[in-house]
Amino acid sequence: MLLLAGGGLWDYLNLIEPNTAYIEDQGWGASGIAYFTDYPIVLRLLWTTALLAAAAAPVLVLFRSRFAVPLALVAAVAQALLLVSTLAFMDRLAALGTFTALFDAGVAIVFAAFWGYCRYLRARSALR
């Protein structure tokens, strides 16, 4: 989870600006640059929330904190809402392609699975 969150943070830092060379390296070209230019603040906040929660939750698991459970849920919900919002209102599929949408859906599923794992740990009293 830390590696996935780290990769997401790297993408975030390169895309929120946006770094045009990074976007072109991803194969998105002009449509990707246009997509990330003037990215709406509400979606930036949702994206930031998803990434920070996804980075913090596994650290809290390592420290056996029960607060990992709600943070993992926040990460999963924020990621899912971000994906649905951008697909519905920003034409993400046309701008970034099917592979990117499927990859991000996979990330949301992994976040949800991690939330389930955190709940399992809490039920087994492994988190305090």
Residue-wise pLDDT tens digits, 44-60: 999 999 999 999 999 99
Query: Can you read off the two tokens belonging to residue 123?
Result: 């039920």
Helices H / strands E in the chain, number of each:
7, 0
Q: Note whether 35 and 95 are within 8 A (CB).
A: yes
pLDDT band at 78 (very low <50, low <70, confident <90, very high): very high
Write the pLDDT tens digit of every residue in 10-45.
999 999 989 999 999 999 999 999 999 989 999 999
The predicted model scores a pTM of 0.93
39-69: b (≥16 Cβ within 10 Å) or e = beeeeeebbebbbbbbbbbbebbeeebeebb
Q: Which residue in the block uniquely carries the two structure tokens 């996979």?
A: 106
